Each structure stands twice: as structure tokens, then as C-alpha cells.
């Protein structure tokens, strides 16, 4: 079976390619927001979002595309992400961070990504989510 570790990633492919590009990232983002929309574990962060999650799905997909080394769709459309600043209108502490990561880690566990890719993404998402706290 084809196997790859993150240390080989740069020689082979970008993270974008390792996740399956647009199809893989959209599947991840859709599962992430489906979980946020339905799981009691995520009820506080669901309440922070708009009634429809379609805008959030599109924006997170576009952001992750560039963030993982693929097309910089978010920047092309909205400019520099300034993620921390864009999250300032929402009160984000440990509880909210943990709920966000609960959804993302579960979506990653259910994904078809290689285990090394899942581990790498979990670590990187945990760092970004930590940085998003503003209280």
C-alpha cells in the first residue's frame, strides 16, 4: 500500500493534495459543520453562527484550500484572512475552542486521510483554535 509520512510531504505533495484537494477538503468541512449543526457537544459554538451554515462552509473550505498549499481562494476573494481579528465579534474561550476542536477532530477521525495526515492536521488545528481565544 502507498504510504507516506509528513516528513516526506514536501517532496511529494502539498497537504492540499494529501487531503484529496477540493473534494477531500469539502467533505471534511461539510462533516465538520454537520457535526456542529447537530451534536449537543457543539451547542455553544453552533449558537454563535448564523442560522444557515452555507456561508461558513464555503468560507472555511476556501480558507483551508490556501492554508493547505492549494489555490488561495479565500485571499483572492476576501483579502488577508486576519482570522483572529475576524473572530473578535465572537466570545471564544476554552469551552468554545474545545467544542470547535471536538467537531474537527471527529470529522478528521471519520475522514479517509492517511493517519499521519490526520495527526498533522489535528496538531495544526489545535494551534490555530488556541490562538482564536479572546477571553
Binding site for ligand HEM (CB under 6 A): 45, 48-50, 56, 59-60, 63, 78, 83, 86-87, 90, 92, 96-97, 100, 125, 128-129, 132
Q: Which is nearer to ligand HEM, 59 or 106 (CB)?
A: 59
Provide the minimum distance between the beta carbon of 3 and ligand HEM in the complex, in angstroms, as a whole number: 27
Q: Which is nearer to ligand HEM, 63 or 113 (CB)?
A: 63
Q: Which is nearer to ligand HEM, 116 or 125 (CB)?
A: 125
Provide the minimum distance between the beta carbon of 1 and ligand HEM in the complex, in angstroms, as a whole number: 30
Provide the minimum distance between the beta carbon of 98 and ligand HEM in the complex, in angstroms, as a whole number: 8
- Report d(CA 117, CA 1) in Å as an integer: 16
Q: Which is nearer to ligand HEM, 45 or 108 (CB)?
A: 45
SS (H, E, C) 34-102: HHHHHCHHHHHHHHHCCCCCHHHHHHHHHHHHHHCCCCCHHHHHHCCCCHHHHCCCCCCCHHHHHHHHH
Provide the minimum distance between the beta carbon of 116 and ligand HEM in the complex, in angstroms, as a whole number: 19
Query: Grid coordinates standing for 132?
Result: 482564536
Amino acid at each position: 500500500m502507498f504510504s507516506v509520512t509528513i516528513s516526506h510531504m514536501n517532496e511529494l505533495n502539498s497537504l492540499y493534495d494529501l487531503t484529496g484537494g477540493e473534494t477531500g477538503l469539502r467533505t471534511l468541512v461539510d462533516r465538520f459543520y454537520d457535526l456542529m449543526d447537530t451534536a449537543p457537544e457543539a451547542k455553544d459554538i453552533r449558537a454563535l453562527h448564523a442560522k444557515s451554515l452555507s456561508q461558513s462552509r464555503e468560507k472555511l473550505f476556501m480558507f483551508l484550500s490556501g492554508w493547505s498549499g492549494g489555490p488561495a481562494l479565500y485571499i483572492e476573494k476576501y483579502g488577508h484572512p486576519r482570522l483572529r481579528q475576524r473572530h473578535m465579534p465572537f466570545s471564544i474561550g476554552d469551552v468554545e475552542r474545545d467544542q470547535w476542536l471536538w467537531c474537527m477532530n471527529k470529522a478528521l477521525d471519520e475522514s479517509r486521510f492517511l493517519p499521519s495526515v490526520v495527526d498533522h492536521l489535528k496538531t495544526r488545528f489545535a494551534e490555530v483554535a488556541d490562538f482564536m481565544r479572546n477571553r
